[in-house]
């Protein structure tokens, strides 16, 4: 897929602290791209730099291959943003808040009702925003981002403060936007399970440095397999004789690590030995396991095979 947004060696410091270090990202067009990192990793700063709210010290940002030195008016016709739990005008109603933006940008007011309906706050449109709950404010933030149907949505922790039902609703909504309408969605979150359920691609940063950038499915595949067979001892003997490390799990299951080629040979051997195999599956890592594994080490660059 072609990259719609590219960050090339972007760095940003605040006083003496470098918050983003030589960060390079490629956000494919039409993807739902999860941006992960622990608190203070530099996610929000990266997003602010990306949309030009703050200037990068170094590096370049490309939108559809075009270098963006200054995000001018026309670019924001294509990009909708929700950054850092934005605040609104508390004295205005939800409708008035959105209508104000439409008026100031010379855009149709009919769009206001559309985004209020799809974000589920249409019934509260005449309520002053100062009386909104956190969840409703988050939805209003999404409505702001979605005004005028942008091609790209840049969302910073959009489900913060939402109840489980709201999270589920927003997640499905984002997936639908991406899959059905072909929108590119760049979403940050520290909720790994949520990203795992919706993202196609992920980037993981820690202490401002990129640790992983690529397809979600690639990072979740591990070279670990689980086998459950009737002749457990025979399987253990066969695997240990090949020098493989095994772990006995519950219910006569055994886990072991092997690459795909060795796995094929082992499979064939089990068939030849007439072992009754009930289950043989690759063990899929969770994003949480991968996240903890990648962030626990001090120097992420030392990890082999990653970045």
Q: How far is the CB of 19 from other proteins (least distance, A)?
A: 12
Asked if 143 touches other proteins (CB under 8 A), the answer is: no
Q: How far is the CB of 61 from other proteins (least distance, A)?
A: 14
Asked if 134 touches other proteins (CB under 8 A), the answer is: no
Q: Mask 144-163, x = binds other proteins (CB under 8 A)?
A: x--x----------------
Q: Do residues 55 and 49 make contact, with C-beta atoms less than 8 angstroms apart?
A: yes
Asked if 103 touches other proteins (CB under 8 A), the answer is: yes
Give the integer Cα–Cα distance in Å for 24 and 40: 18
Q: How far is the CB of 68 from other proteins (least distance, A)?
A: 13
CB under 8 A: which stretch of 51-59, 181-189, 245-253, 285-293 binds other proteins? 51-59
Neighbours of 77 (CB within 10 A): 14
Q: How far is the CB of 144 from other proteins (least distance, A)?
A: 6
**Dihedrals phi, psi of 141, to nearest 5 degrees:** -60, -40
Asked if 304 touches other proteins (CB under 8 A), the answer is: no
Q: Mask 6-45, x = binds other proteins (CB under 8 A)?
A: ----------------------------------------
**Dihedrals phi, psi of 246, to nearest 5 degrees:** -120, 155
Asked if 68 touches other proteins (CB under 8 A), the answer is: no
Give the integer Cα–Cα distance in Å for 61 and 109: 32
3-state SS class at 231: coil
Pick from 15, 39, 66, 106: which binds other proteins (CB under 8 A)? 106
Q: Which residue has the tokens 């219910």?
A: 251
List of residues 6+ apart from 130 with CB closer than 8 A: 90, 91
Give the integer Cα–Cα distance in Å for 300 and 209: 8
User: DSSP letters of 268-294?
Assistant: HHHHHTT--EEEEEEEEPPHHHHHHHH
CB under 8 A: which stretch of 24-32, 104-112, 276-284, 288-296 binds other proteins? 104-112
CB under 8 A: which stretch of 91-99, 163-171, 199-207, 213-221 binds other proteins? 91-99
Give the integer Cα–Cα distance in Å for 228 and 281: 9
Interface contacts to other proteins, rule CB under 8 A: 48, 51-55, 73-77, 79, 81, 83-84, 86-92, 96, 100-101, 103-106, 144, 147
């Amino acid at each position: 897929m072609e990259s719609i947004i590219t960050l090339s060696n972007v760095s940003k410091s605040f006083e003496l602290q470098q918050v983003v270090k030589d960060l390079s990202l490629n956000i494919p067009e039409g993807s739902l791209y999860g941006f992960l990192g622990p608190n203070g990793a530099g996610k929000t700063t990266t997003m602010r730099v990306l949309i030009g709210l703050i200037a990068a010290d170094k590096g370049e940002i490309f939108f559809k291959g075009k270098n963006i030195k200054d995000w001018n008016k026309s670019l924001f016709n294509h990009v909708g943003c929700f950054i850092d739990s934005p605040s609104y005008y508390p004295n205005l109603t939800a409708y008035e808040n959105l209508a104000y933006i439409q008026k100031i940008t010379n855009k149709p007011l009919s769009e206001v009702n559309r985004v209020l309906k799809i974000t589920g706050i249409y019934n509260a449109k005449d309520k002053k925003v100062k009386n909104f709950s956190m969840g409703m404010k988050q939805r209003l933030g999404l409505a702001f981002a979605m005004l005028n149907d942008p091609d790209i949505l840049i969302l910073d922790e959009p489900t913060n403060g939402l109840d489980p039902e709201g999270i589920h609703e927003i997640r499905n909504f984002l997936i639908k936007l991406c899959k059905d309408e072909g929108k590119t969605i760049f979403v940050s979150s520290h909720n790994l399970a949520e990203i795992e359920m919706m993202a196609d691609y992920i980037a993981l940063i820690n202490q401002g440095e990129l640790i992983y950038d690529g397809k979600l499915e690639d990072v979740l595949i591990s070279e670990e397999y689980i086998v459950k067979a009737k002749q457990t001892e025979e399987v253990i003997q066969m695997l240990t004789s090949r020098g493989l490390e095994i772990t006995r799990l519950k219910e006569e299951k055994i886990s072991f690590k092997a690459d795909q080629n060795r796995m094929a040979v082992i499979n064939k051997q089990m068939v030849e030995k007439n072992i009754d195999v009930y289950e043989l599956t690759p063990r899929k890592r969770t994003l949480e396991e991968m996240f903890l594994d990648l962030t626990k080490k001090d120097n992420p660059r030392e990890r082999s095979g990653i970045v």
